Amino acid sequence: MFKMNTNAAIPHKRLPTPFPSERLRERIPEDVFVFRFSRSAGPGGQNVNKVNTRVTLLFDLTANEELTPAEKRRIAAALSGRISSEGILRVTSSRMRSQRANRETATERFYELLAKVLTPRRPRKATRIPYRSRLQRLENKRIHAETKRLRGPVGNPQETGTQRNKRGRS
């Protein structure tokens, strides 16, 4: 059986460079965001029932002029569950106890989501199935078929084909 050397160095695969969220911060300023505040179910004790700490960041994707139409299409396709029928992207945060911290978290998540969506995917490199793997698969098929054949009715082991029951059905 073929054994692979696990100590051999694996060649470095070239990955696509991530779309930096810093570039997005320059292109999409925070003053285009609309923030809505509501009561949160997260941490905060009795404070949760009194203060609106949950933050929902709203970003109008259709009206934005900083993004190209191609980028808007990619974002709309990838984040369709977060985009309303009016084209408003929604990012929510309620992890922190304060409104300011949740606002910062929602803004950070917005830029991370867009950076992830706009990072180009590395195309799949087509590969051939190795010759040895093909032979191994066929050998396993032969062994499995032989095992199945031997499980058949007792009688002539050379006999092949389907066996018929008393009514003449297979």
89: domain CATH number?
Answer: 3.30.160.20
Q: Is residue 160 part of a domain?
A: no
- Whether the pTM exceeds 0.85: the reply is no
Q: Is residue 139 part of a domain?
A: no
10 pLDDT exceeds 60? Answer: no
Residues 20/115, Cβ–Cβ less than 8 Å: yes
Which position has the token pair 């369709």?
80
Confidence at residue 5, expressed as pLDDT on a 0 to 100 scale: 52
Ordered alpha helix ranges (H), the chain: 21-27, 69-78, 99-118, 131-150
Q: Is residue 9 part of a domain?
A: no
Confidence at residue 32, expressed as pLDDT on a 0 to 100 scale: 86
The number of distinct structural domains making up the chain is 1
3-state secondary structure of 92: strand
Write the pLDDT tens digit of every residue in 83-138: 999 999 999 988 888 889 999 999 999 999 998 998 888 898 999 999 999 999 99
Q: How confident is the model at residue 158 (pLDDT cuts 50, 70, 90)?
A: low
Q: Is residue 2 part of a domain?
A: no
Residues 91/110, Cβ–Cβ less than 8 Å: yes
Write the pLDDT tens digit of every residue in 30-89: 888 999 888 877 666 676 677 788 899 999 998 888 889 999 999 999 998 999 999 999
Distance in angstroms (rounded) separating the CA atoms of residues 28 and 67: 8
Confidence at residue 105, expressed as pLDDT on a 0 to 100 scale: 92
Q: Is residue 93 part of a domain?
A: yes
Confidence at residue 110, expressed as pLDDT on a 0 to 100 scale: 92
Q: Measured at the alpha carbon of residue 142, what is the angle toward residues 137 and 145, in degrees to the nearest 5?
A: 120
Q: Is residue 111 part of a domain?
A: yes
Q: Is residue 61 part of a domain?
A: yes
Q: Is residue 105 part of a domain?
A: yes
Residues 70/60, Cβ–Cβ less than 8 Å: no
Residue 35 pairs in a beta bridge with: 57
Supply the range of the domain harboring residue 106: 21-118
Confidence at residue 96, expressed as pLDDT on a 0 to 100 scale: 84
DSSP H or E stretch at residue 34: strand 34-38
